[in-house]
Amino acid sequence: MTTIPTLPPASTSDARAGSHVAAQRQRAGRKRPLFDPPIVRRAIRDAFVKLDPRRMVRNPVMFVVLIGSAYTTLVFIRDLLGGRSDWGFTLQLALWLWFTVVFANFAEAMAEGRGKAQADTLRKSRTQTTAKRLFDKSAGRIDRARFEEVNAEQLRRGDLVLCLPGDVIPGDGEVIEGVASVDESAITGESAPVIRESGGDRSAVTGGTKVLSDYIVVKITANPGETFLDRMIALVEGASRQKTPNEIALTILLSGLTIVFLFAVATLQPFAVYSGSPTTIPILIALLVCLIPTTIGGLLSAIGIAGMDRMIQQNVIAMSGRAVEAAGDVNTLLLDKTGTITLGNRQASDFLPVSGVEAELLADRAQLASLADETPEGRSIVVLAKTKFGIRAREVGGEHAGHRDVTFIPFSASTRMSGVDTGDGYQVRKGAGDAVLAWVRQAGGHTPADIDSAVRRVALEGGTPLLVAEKGNSHGPRVLGVVYLKDAVKGGIRERFDRLRAMGIRTVMITGDNPLTAAAIAKEAGVDDFLAEAKPEDKMALIQREQAGGRLVAMTGDGTNDAPALAQADVGVAMNTGTQAAKEAGNLIDLDSNPTKLIEVVEIGKQLLMTRGSLTTFSIANDVAKYFAIIPAIFVATYPVLQTLNIMRLHSPQSAILASVIFNALIIIALIPLALRGVTYRPAPAAVILRRNLFVYGLGGLIVPFAGIKLIDMLLVFSHLAS
């Protein structure tokens, strides 16, 4: 309990606002405009390549449109050769049906384009590298002088390579000797170098990154073609993309609806024959294409790819689309306290003097003891004394409060104290409770009666008590009081948890602290629950317990002992700085290694599902208007009274049918930005989100086509494209 706080590892210290802003800026720099010209050019070409029926058959809705387009084209050719007068109409119909398919392919190609562009960038860092392969494979005695230069392609799992400053690390591996600063910007986009060293949780290195200083010996852990970079390229490119469970379910629904409408349209011809006005097959195809859910059918895969792409823009690599989807479903978030909820370094928040000592005196002595202490805790004591009592920071080595020859006594593991000695025999110490008390007692002082209650109070509130004592002046050895070190909760984290709660997600804080401290921090941060004195197996048990209750669990982790829990969790976000084992166990990897990002990951998952649902609703709602455009158009010749159903007052049967088909095709193009960006997402309870999305996409889907079809009809008449 009462130990001097040690520095947390550099990787988890996340400066409050600074790094967030930096991350934002860095992301903004990487972001391309939605319609980036090179991507658009490639997408246009791909849209036609994708017309291959073998590819199209994977999307049943658009496959039906493809067949319809082909058939209508044949009818057009027959009409043209046969000299039929209405070939112009059939031609326009055929063209717009083809456009419908091409537009859908274009949407998918656009979504893929961004990933492909990124993959190209990544490929550049995979350019031919040579490796210094060591002859001796046994890790015991490594002879760094004996190596051969080989092509990185020849490396196999288990090989040892030497990386010197300036070398590109030839493959994924584990540092088994040495420590080096490594530039990982090729993978993470983050330009600040990171430290990689043997042993511990910072031993994993990624192929394609560059050693900047010192040297490391790396044991290769992945064969060429299976490296992280290879996998990343394949993922962002979408080469190994498979339909996700929800996408499959939605495809089944859309196919089912397509079959229902196929029956509705196919049986219309017999009814038309009965009514004495058989219609033409191209017109029935037009009706069918308008009724089947082409809007969502055409945009479905683009939405999925764009969701993965949004993850990449957040610097998170999803190992599968399934993981992105699961993120939206998460019910429980397990968050490590240090680095996620708290800043990871404790800050002084109060001075609690023992009776008979002024608070100001305690502050003054505590500041004196901390002057040369460069730890965040030490600095925070100096700052607090200044803000609270106006005590100015003084230079070490000069003259302070009447003392000369000030020497700084650094913290050591054996004394567990730090402080200051002055030339005239005055000493001040701060440190862990038992250490400081022992120091005072040894000098002949005594333990003040009220120190125990002060220490307990601080512990109860989730803080760390730091004792301050002095000796060598007129007062004799005595304890001055307690500095209240608080585990500072990250700014704005409480609001984020409130947002998660609004979405129905429970947050559980995991900490090694005792239950009292944990409870206090949990209360301050606003998490729903906490797991104190947690061991890795406790974490695992908690995940299994949550899952047994039907909940989906998300967590972050970086250490090897996190790996089993990461694998067990439904969404496991591994930190890029983490060990190889952790990265292999997780289904998402955060290149920024920012554990708080789990929240963004959840939001992206939700946005992906919302976009699918909203466009499905929009697509189905569209049908109402299309019925009112096409049905009267087909039969008005037989039953002139059906003109009553032509509530849009469309000009003629031909213009009505064309306008519907054109609207149906153009709406796909119009919705590409929405499909790629995702619907606007604001955290709110499901009922509120439903009301808003239903209003926009349900009601909007009902009304928009009425206006759109009418407008296109007017344009067609105006431009004499339909009579």
Q: 642-672 burial by CB neighbour count: b if 16+ within 10 A, else e?
A: eeebbebebbbbbbbbbbbbbbbbbbbbebb
Phi-psi region of 347 (alpha: psi -120 to 50; beta: other; left: phi over 0): beta
Q: Is the dihedral of CA 397, 399, 400, 406 positive or negative?
A: positive
Q: Dihedrals φ, ψ of 615, to 5°?
A: -70, -30
Cα(521)–Cα(529) distance, integer angstroms: 11
The CA distance from 292 to 295, in Å, is: 9
Strands 529-531 and 506-510: parallel
Task: For the CB of residue 250, give the shortest distance to another protein in the complex, in Å.
Answer: 8
Residue type, 438: A
**Phi, psi at 498, each rounded to 5°:** -60, -40
In order of 188, 277, 466, 550, 624, the CA distances from 93 in angstroms are: 49, 21, 81, 51, 21
C-alpha to C-alpha distance for 403 and 286, rounded to whole angstroms: 95
What 3-state DSSP class applies to 126? coil
Q: For the chain, how far is it from start to end, CA to CA, in angstroms?
A: 87
Annotation says 336 is catalytic = yes
Token pair belonging to 367: 């500041």
| Cβ atoms of residues 325 and 244 within 8 Å | yes
* Residue of 331, 310, 338, 337 lying closest to 554 (CA atoms): 331
Q: Which residues contact 456 (CB under 8 A, 6 or more apart)?
A: none
The first and second tokens of residue 310, run together, are 């949004």
Instruction: Please tell me the distance from the alpha carbon of residue 255 to that of residue 293, in angstroms, as a whole number.
Output: 9
Beta-ladder partners of 471: 427
Residue type at 68 in one-letter notation: G
Residue identified by tokens 């560059």 is 210
Closest CB to another protein among residues 248, 401: 248
Listing DSSP states for 213-247 in one string gives: EEEEEEEE-S-TTSSHHHHHHHHHHTTT----HHH
Quickly tell me which residue has 């895969």 as its tokens: 301
- The total of other beta-carbon atoms located within 10 Å of residue 242's CB is 10
Question: Residue 284 gets which letter from DSSP?
Answer: H
Specify the residue, 176 or 642, whose C-beta has the smaller distance to another protein. Answer: 642
Structural contact between residues 657 and 630, judged by C-beta atoms closer than 8 angstroms: yes
Residue 96 C-alpha from the chain's centroid: 39
Q: How far is the C-alpha of 337 from the C-alpha of 319, rounded, in Å?
A: 26
Q: For the chain, what's the residue count?
A: 723
Taking the complex as a whole, the smallest distance from the CB of residue 28 to another protein amounts, in Å, to 25
Contact 198, 179 (CB under 8 A): yes
Give Dmax over CA atoms of the chain in angstroms.
Answer: 119
Nearer to another protein, 578 or 605 (CB): 605
The residue among 192 and 688 lying less far from another protein, judged by its C-beta, is 688
Q: Are 111 and 305 in contact (CB under 8 A)?
A: yes
Pick 519 or 642: Cβ nearer another protein: 642
Instruction: Give me the catalytic one of 183, 336, 487, 558.
Output: 336
Beta-strand runs (E) in 105-197: 130-134, 147-151, 160-163, 173-183, 194-197
Cite the DSSP H helix spans in 549-652. Answer: 563-568, 580-585, 598-621, 623-635
What SS3 class is residue 148?
strand
- What type of residue sits at position 534? A
CA 306 to chain centre: 13
Catalytic residue ranges: 336
